[in-house]
Amino acid sequence: MWSSHLRNFLSRWHAKSAVDARQNADVRRALVESLYASPLSLAIGAVAGSAVSAVVAFTAKDTFITGVAALLCVIAVLRAVSSYYFHRNLKKGRAEGSRSWELAYELGAWVYAALIGLMAFAALVRSDNAIIHLLTVSVAAGYAGGISGRNAGRVHIAIGQGILTLAPTAIGLWSVDSITYRILAVSVVLLILSIAEISSTTHRVVLEALNGKHQKSLLAAKFEKLARYDSLTGVENRMAMQMRIRDMFDESNGERDGLAVIWMDLDRFKEINDSLGHIVGDQLLVLVAEKIGQALGDRGTVARFGGDEFIILCRQTSRPDAAEVAKDILDYLAEPIEIGGHHLTVSASIGIAVAPQDGHDRDEILQHADMALYHAKHGGRNRFSLFEWSMKERFHRVREIEAGLRKAIERGEFKMHYQPIFDIETGQVACCEALIRWHHPVLGDVSPGEFIPIAESISMIGPISEWVLGQACASAAQWPDDVRVAVNISPALLRAGDLPRTVIACLYSSGLKARRLELEVTESVFLEDNAQTSQILRELRRIGLRMALDDFGTGYSSLSYLRSYSFDTIKVDQSFLAGIDKSFEDRAIIRAVAHLARDLNMDTVAEGIETHEQLRYAKEAGFTNLQGYLLNKPMSDDAILKLLERGEGAPPASMWSGMPSSQSINETADAGALALRRDAS
């Protein structure tokens, strides 16, 4: 029975030791701390042990016992001192070498226990003084009982000490030829077993408590990480960034001086997300966060503000330094990225505001960095802007326009105006360009040149264009059958993809023939060679619509567009006509384009005719159509109907007199082409 109990106990002890071995550093450290947890009990043990040893040594008058007692006193003092130092180091946070503290404690504990056991054994064997027997056996039993609880944190120490103390005591008791002593010897052996049991049970409870505490702290750390860091990119999140910037502003001693807020937004991220899917979008964000980190180095911290926006905070940074950081980020982003077989080139727009000159509190500096970002986006993207106070005014106007645009259709604030485009041969109106007009209740008339780009940026261009197309088709359906209507189509609308559906719906509801609708697109639609854009342009042509290339000469003006997309009309930008009296180059370009278009069998519209000189020159250069204030300004729906039906308000017939002969046109055009060639060489 005893052996099975002992086996049982030993196997449990081993199992616990294995668990002990698996304990991570934190739990181990806590357990070692528990050994030294009560320096007072250690001191009391040391004092009691020393006092009893002294009495025993004095009474027994035996050299061996005196030697053991002296050694016991020395060890007791050393242990009390080591406990004191452990606590001092712990307070200073230097208890990390817990393994050596544990060994020191273990050694001291075992030597001390062995000496107590040895003293009891020696007293029982070498002396027949019952008082000494009583004292030494009680000290051994009391000590063993005490350590079973005290050292349960390291269970093998507690059990080892129990055995070292009580085993010699039991042997000593057994060696005395007395039944009473022998019964006591057996009791002492039983005491060893119960001490082992108590220690291991207490140890298990302590261990479970410590493990629970450890798990809780791990969980707390995990939650803190979740709360502070963006789960996708691993950089700080919006909340952490806001706390960081608040702390920076709260800090005294002028820390906020030179705090740069660099606000970055990826260009056209939504398109990547929509066309390639969210998984690619997510991977892109992760790579972008990495690239920002690489570009930034240790100059600041980066946080994901949400979506595709990142905020970088740099302390003690001047405006030029912040601009340098932004430039580095743009350079890093410019390197091509490959995700899942897709080769992506990404760019970003960046706004920078630096405290204290650009803002005095957290909200203001963030708002100003946002304004600078807006400026960068509208300045053409892939760039950074430093905040300027003048941006504030513009920003508020833009915000007002944005808010107004969202309600303008339902409030009926838009109107359509139409500007005639004349056939140069006949002097008749061939087409009318539909131009939107908006009267804002507070801002008054806002030009489409200003609000159309804003409508594009807030995704309002779709509904607005739908409204324009509906109005233009309905008006044109009232006009003579040989007059077309030209509608401006924003590049953003072509990218969105549902234009053909809208066009068909408008043609259907107005009854307008497709050949009478012309869509004007600018060269900017070709800036990104987007397969979807080409597909939509071809679909629109299949429906039977005419296509015009508007503002030709202001973008890339690549002749390859003319070849690939077979436009019906080229509209040369008004800036060229405006420059004819001063610029030889403008004159040469105008003539060359007119000549080229004629050979490609396309119509050419000279936009922005304001003077008789421009009119004469456009005729000479060989344009087929003319548009401009000199002929007619854009006019209301009623006015254009009167002009088309009754000729009311039409330019005088004299305007068309003195047209150059076709031969002189050819000569002029050839001269222009020659001039261009000369220019190129």
Count of residues that interact with ligand C2E, criterion CB under 6 A: 24
550 contacts ligand C2E (rule: CB under 6 A): yes
- From the number of C-beta atoms within 10 Å of its C-beta (0-12, 13-18, 19+), residue 345 rates as exposed
Cis peptide leading into residue 356 (ω within 30°): yes
The residue within the footprint of ligand C2E, chosen from 102, 106, 518, 551 (CB under 6 A), is: 551
620 contacts Mg ion (rule: CB under 5 A): no
- Which one, 475 or 488, has the nearer CB to Mg ion? 488
- Which one, 67 or 555, has the nearer CB to ligand C2E? 555
104 binds, among ligand C2E, Mg ion, none (CB under 5 to 8 A by kind): none
550 contacts Mg ion (rule: CB under 5 A): yes
**Exposed e or buried b per residue across 331-342, where buried means at least 16 C-beta atoms within 10 angstroms of its C-beta:** ebbeeeeebeee
398 binds, among Mg ion, ligand C2E, none (CB under 5 to 8 A by kind): none
386 contacts ligand C2E (rule: CB under 6 A): no
> Among residues 616, 574, 571, 612, which one has the least CA distance to residue 594?
571
Name 597's Cβ contacts closer than 8 Å, sequence gap at least 6: 570, 603, 604, 624
Segment 469 to 498, residues that bind Mg ion, using CB under 5 A: 488
389: its two tokens: 């106070």
Q: Could you tell me the end-to-end alpha-carbon distance of the chain, in angstroms, rounded to an integer?
A: 113
How far apart CA 14 and CA 196 sit, in angstroms, is: 13
- DSSP, residue by residue, 356-414: TTT-SSHHHHHHHHHHHHHHHHHTTSSEEEE--THHHHHHHHHHHHHHHHHHHTTTT-E
Q: Which amino acid is at 178?
A: S
Residues facing 484 on adjacent strands: 431
Q: Which stretch binds Mg ion (CB under 5 A): 19-27, 545-553, 562-570, 658-666?
A: 545-553
Segment 557 to 586, residues that bind ligand C2E, using CB under 6 A: 574
How far apart CA 120 and CA 122 sit, in angstroms, is: 6
551 contacts Mg ion (rule: CB under 5 A): yes
634 contacts ligand C2E (rule: CB under 6 A): yes
CB of 658 vs Mg ion, minimal distance in Å: 26
- Which one, 413 or 610, has the nearer CB to ligand C2E? 610
436 binds, among ligand C2E, Mg ion, none (CB under 5 to 8 A by kind): ligand C2E
Checking DSSP bridges between strand 625-626 and strand 603-606, what pairing results, if any? parallel
- Which one, 102 or 573, has the nearer CB to ligand C2E? 573
- Which one, 520 or 523, has the nearer CB to ligand C2E? 520
3-state secondary structure of 444: strand
- Which one, 50 or 627, has the nearer CB to ligand C2E? 627
447 binds, among ligand C2E, Mg ion, none (CB under 5 to 8 A by kind): ligand C2E
Q: Which stretch binds ligand C2E (CB under 6 A): 369-377, 384-392, 446-454, 498-506?
A: 446-454
How far apart CA 496 and CA 461 sit, in angstroms, is: 10
Measured from the Cβ of residue 482, the count of other Cβ atoms closer than 10 Å reads 12
CB of 552 vs ligand C2E, minimal distance in Å: 10
Query: Interhelix angle for 461-476 vs 448-457, to 10°?
Result: 130
3-state secondary structure of 573: coil
How far apart CA 435 and CA 419 sit, in angstroms, is: 7
x/- map, 27-56, ligand C2E, by CB under 6 A: ------------------------------
Pair 287, 337: CB distance under 8 Å: yes
- Which one, 172 or 491, has the nearer CB to ligand C2E? 491
Measured CA distances, 275 to 178, 200, 281, 381 (Å): 97, 64, 9, 20
How far apart CA 554 and CA 240 sit, in angstroms, is: 45
- Which one, 160 or 608, has the nearer CB to ligand C2E? 608
169 contacts Mg ion (rule: CB under 5 A): no
The residue within the footprint of ligand C2E, chosen from 117, 172, 404, 608 (CB under 6 A), is: 608
Q: What are phi and psi of 480, to 5 degrees?
A: -55, 150
The residue within the footprint of Mg ion, chosen from 520, 523, 586, 620 (CB under 5 A), is: 520
CB of 606 vs Mg ion, minimal distance in Å: 11
491 contacts ligand C2E (rule: CB under 6 A): no
490 binds, among ligand C2E, Mg ion, none (CB under 5 to 8 A by kind): ligand C2E
How far apart CA 159 and CA 163 sit, in angstroms, is: 6
- Which one, 102 or 586, has the nearer CB to ligand C2E? 586
162 contacts ligand C2E (rule: CB under 6 A): no
- Which one, 456 or 520, has the nearer CB to Mg ion? 520
> What residue ranges bind ligand C2E (CB under 6 A)?
419, 434-436, 447-449, 452, 465, 468, 488-490, 520, 550-551, 574, 608-610, 627-629, 634
Per CB under 5 A, residues contacting Mg ion are: 488, 520, 550-551, 607
